[in-house]
Amino acid sequence: MTSLSATDSHAAPEQTRSFWTSDAAKRIAAGVIILLLWEGVVRAFAPAYVAKPTGVIQAIPKVLSDPAFLKAAAQTLTACAEGLVIAIVLGTVIGLAMGRSLFAERFLRHYINGFYAVPMIVVLPLMSLWFGYTSNARLATIVFASLFSIIINVADGAKAVSKDYLEVASSYRSGRLRMMIDIVLPSSTPYFLAGLRLAAGRSLIGAVVAEFFTAIGGIGYFILYNSRTFHHNEAFVGVLLLAAFGLGFELLVAAGTRRYLPWYRRDERN
């Protein structure tokens, strides 16, 4: 997935004029038009409680200074972070095993692909049966949601390690574990990061659906509660925060890749 916002190389001459014809101006203009349309449509056709830009902007300071909201945000984020850590540790171990051992690959591949194809939301009833309506059910859902994309990507990365490196290492009598840690792990990092990006998005979705389903505290429940009581503007601030998390994590991983893995070029994968 390359970034949508990258500009085309063949369209360069258009961009050298004034600010008013620049891409930034177009984007700002489009943003303003979208907001105006939204505001207009809601004012003209929708009931008063429906979220609209002016209402959401007014709600932002109120919601952000609400301790209940901050607590909800912290709960959801902490759960996602915990779940991701579990998924990263488990996923890296299983992924490396699958990438480097034909037996593990043959035994596990169908299951991993199968679980990845299961819509993660269907495990909610099972998680609530197993863990009750508690935050453990949310944690388990997050792990289920994020684990398989990490495994699949780490396994692909471990498989793509250049044979030359491994041959040189083994001709110097390097041990299997040593080669795993010093060669396979670092060279599959870009794949791991691609998996982590997917997993982070999925973990947020997992957390939100688990909160909808079990009604435990968090941003998802905050959104559910406020929209049920017709406080759509307030609820929408929660959606904005989720979008900010999703986008922020994307940017963080992209920046981290550029900074720490400058040797990695996305195009080389094809």
Where does this chain bind other proteins (CB under 8 A)? 2-5, 7-8, 10-11, 23, 26-27, 29-31, 34, 46, 50-51, 106-111, 113-115, 117-126, 128-130, 201, 204-205, 208-209, 212-213, 220, 223-224, 227-228, 230, 232, 235-236, 238-239, 242-243, 246-247, 250
**Shortest Å distance, C-beta 130 to other proteins:** 7
CA angle 113, 115, 120 (to 5 degrees): 130
Return the number of the residue (183 or 249) whose C-beta is nearest other proteins.
249
**Shortest Å distance, C-beta 172 to other proteins:** 33
State the alpha helices, DSSP H only, in 101-175: 102-117, 124-131, 135-159, 163-171
**Shortest Å distance, C-beta 132 to other proteins:** 11
Contact 154, 96 (CB under 8 A): yes
Return the number of the residue (66 or 250) whose C-beta is nearest other proteins.
250
Return the number of the residue (44 or 117) whose C-beta is nearest other proteins.
117
Contact 75, 217 (CB under 8 A): yes
Contact 233, 58 (CB under 8 A): yes
CA angle 207, 193, 90 (to 5 degrees): 60
Return the number of the residue (115 or 264) whose C-beta is nearest other proteins.
115
